[in-house]
A and B are shown apart, each in its own frame.
Chain A
Amino acid sequence: MNVRKALERVLLQVQKPARYTGGELGSIVKDPAKVDVRFAFCFPDLYEVGMSHLGMKILYSLMNEREDIWCERVFAPGDDLERLMREHRIPLFGLESLDAVTDFDFIGFTLQYELSFTAILNMLDLAGLPVRSKDRTGLSPLVVAGGPCACNPEPISAFIDLFILGEGEEVNLELIDLYKIAKREGWDKQTFLRRAARIGGIYVPSLYDVSYREDGTIEAVTPREGAPARVLKRIVRDFDGVYYPKDFVVPFTETVHDRAMVEVLRGCIRGCRFCQAGFLYRPLREKRHATLDRQAHDLCDHTGYDEVSLTSLSTSDYSELEPLLNDMLSWTERDAVNIALPSLRVDNFSRELVERIAAVRKSSLTFAPEAGTQRLRDVINKNVSEEEVLRTCRTAFEGGYSNVKLYFMMGLPTETDEDVAGIIRLAQKVVDMFYRLPDRPKGRGVSVTVSVACFVPKPFTPFEFEPQDTREELRRKQRILLDTVKSKKITVKYHDSPTSFLEAVLARGDRRLCPVVEYAWRLGSKLDGWNDFFSMERWEDAAEVCGVDFSFYANRRRSYGEVMPWDHLDYGVTKAYLIREHERALAAQVTPHCRINCSGCGANKLVGGACFGK
């Protein structure tokens, strides 16, 4: 089928057709006859979300650097185009070639959040492929997936042929090289999967048997056919020297993050106990400031972006931030380029830093105290005091800002009603402080936005043993939150609890959820992260039909001895460490960050020694 022509007949009937036609500056078009491997990099969400994702940009450029590989981008179509695609039998296609992805060698999904799982099934179906791995019998297309949710991929293990654990820069190419041999020597799919399972970081779920106890918990996960008992995630040891693109695909339409980005560090030293990323991406590795300055400058020159962001889990922990800003300001001011510094932690946001960013351009300020009382902040190891929050907001107000946004979570372990009310009390203190300031910004009132998410316990965190609050309990706490607000200067926004509940189910789910995911998709679930598409009833129907109790996954406390569905996957941090941290959390004991004291998480084995110094 000529996808290009078929698309032309329908594209003017859909919103934002530019999402589906490719051809952007920086997109790579090759001659299909001159490449050995075609890779469809699928982001299971809409174009404007996927195009904001840094990991996709890195791996896209990395693969396309090789002459024998052509990597293309694929996103989930909007509802309007999907209907037309199904009506006119237009298959899912790559944005670069507009060819159907069915004939590609690899279909690779990035797993950024649990609620995108049904979008994966929907995209496979749009491609004209059976969603179940066992029903796709040929060697190609191989359906692979990586990204943070690969740390517990069991709820989608029936659909994906293999998972890539950890960082993809090296292992993706190793996998493709093995595939080239397989193609040349005519291996069948099973042979390829068995061989791929020997590559470090590759997890082939079909090579593991899972048995269950009578109480529904897992008895054992047993590898077969030579697969390793534990799969260790991959990391890049030489992070300063790792490949980084000089060019990005520059979208025509507006996307969520439409700017140049450099990645200053990977990992995080903080150890906030609720934060999965803080454990998954360990150990901490930084790039040198000269490297980053060059990469940022190259990107701005090649893309024409007028904003560059310094991204990481905690950019203010970057040890060379001052020299980096000095380097960059020498050209960014001249070229009218704005430097964006996301995710700055409250506790080291200095006045000088505020002024230096403000010198380029003002944007709004956001801080994340995460919990309303000191006791609860100690439980979650968010080492930020009330004085620090107030001091930071004061610095921001004195620097000319009058809007601040504070992020919190509700339903954290050990949380009391007092802790919930404390969220609003803290926001009120910020308001009161503003009006006591002699040199506050004139002519404008203060606005404090309190954004409250529901806590979701995640694998590989010290809270992986914890139950999530029930939906009733979360609704009750939301009422306490709203009842405590006494000022018009405070706006409360909270995240809907049904999606957080489903996220909790899927995050710690096991293989018995595969039929539920498939059934929910067949009932119409796709793009569950978007409110217009989400329906809890569909998921509840699916659970009932499949005989699954969601509260078993979301609201149950696990014992330290329980076999977790992800215990055979190794992300560096040990279970013994997670248990230690969980016990400290219950005792409201904080753990100092990695630069002060090594808490022995285990991730340093991945770099073969101490993370710092020595």
Chain B
Amino acid sequence: MGNELFKMTVRVFYRKLGRIKYISHLDMVRCISRALKRSGLPVWHTLGFHPHVYLTFALPLALGYESTCESMDFRLTGELPMEEVVERLNAVLPEGVRCYRAAPAGQKPEAIAWADYEITQEFDGMTAEAAAEKFAAWRNRETVPVVKKGKKGERVIDAKPHFSVREERAAGDTLVFTMRAAAGNTLNLNPTLLLDAFAAEEGVRADWMRVVRTAVLDQDGNPFE
């Protein structure tokens, strides 16, 4: 415990799908720490009176969101094949969390600039087409002011340059589209913030919604590695 040296920082990519989307980020951190303990991997612990597993997440996922592109970093005190890291973790993870790749950590989390979200909405009281029309009119205005809560209190920002919508498909009561939104340390725009602002102004609120994060990207639009 509390080994002085670590060999490498490893970045593990995983999917978070299904009912585990209701597990908050803080609960996920505890869950993964215990999983690392169960896995028996030679994980580096912090030094100090209460040594604990060193574990960071590049871009925490909002409660209720699913994802096919999450990543977490931890440190190993010994060398072992990356496939083995994936296998040993998958053997001890709960339903809905599956690792698919591990590699020495590449980019710093600060490199993250954008994220893609696939959003599915169901409307009880209107057709998806009508909802899509209203949503398009709302977001295609000159500016799209939204209230963002931060550590320094509330501020109004123009969200327009910070998100875009593509691959919109409306069928019956179901509306599906992909949203690319600013992500990372500088400005993180949660799709729910935009959809809530839209709902509040136009009175169009989905009765059921699914959000899946499908990509985490750097400034140039390349996947975060």
Contact = CB atoms under 8 A, between A and B. Distances in A.
A305 B34 contact: yes
Contacts of B51: 336
A302 B39 CA distance: 9
B18 interface: yes
26 contacts: A4-B19, A5-B208, A9-B207, A9-B208, A11-B22, A11-B64, A18-B27, A20-B22, A23-B18, A23-B19, A23-B94, A25-B93, A25-B94, A252-B28, A252-B31, A253-B27, A303-B38, A304-B33, A304-B34, A304-B35, A304-B38, A305-B34, A335-B1, A335-B37, A336-B1, A336-B51
The main secondary structure of chain A at its interface with chain B is loop
Nearest to B210: A8
Interface residues of B, number: 30
Given A4-B19, A11-B22, A252-B23, 19 more contacts: A9-B207, A18-B22, A18-B24, A18-B27, A21-B19, A23-B18, A23-B20, A24-B94, A29-B95, A98-B19, A250-B94, A252-B27, A252-B31, A301-B38, A304-B37, A304-B38, A305-B34, A334-B1, A336-B45
Contacts of A596: none
B126 interface: no
A336 B24 CA distance: 26
Nearest to B124: A9
A8 B36 CA distance: 30
A272 to B, nearest CB: 36
Q: Which of the four size classes fits the interface of chain A?
A: 20 to 34
A303 B34 contact: yes
A19 B23 CA distance: 9
A22 interface: yes
A306 interface: yes
B96 interface: yes
A7 to B, nearest CB: 9
Contacts of A55: none
Interface of A: 4-5, 8-9, 11-12, 17-18, 20-25, 27, 29, 98, 250, 252-253, 301-306, 334-336, 361
B36 to A, nearest CB: 8
Interface string B161-181: 000000000000000000000
B136 interface: no
Contacts of A302: 38
B197 interface: no
Most buried by A among B20, B33, B37, B96: B37
B92 A22 contact: no
Contacts of B63: 12, 17
Nearest to A302: B38
B7 interface: no
Contacts of B94: 23-25, 250, 252
A15 to B, nearest CB: 11
B134 interface: no
Most buried by A among B31, B96, B207: B31
Nearest to B2: A336
Interface in B73-116: 92-96
Given A18-B27, A25-B31, A306 B37 contact: yes
A330 B1 CA distance: 14
Nearest to A22: B19
Contact of A21 (B22, B28, B92): B22
Nearest to B18: A23
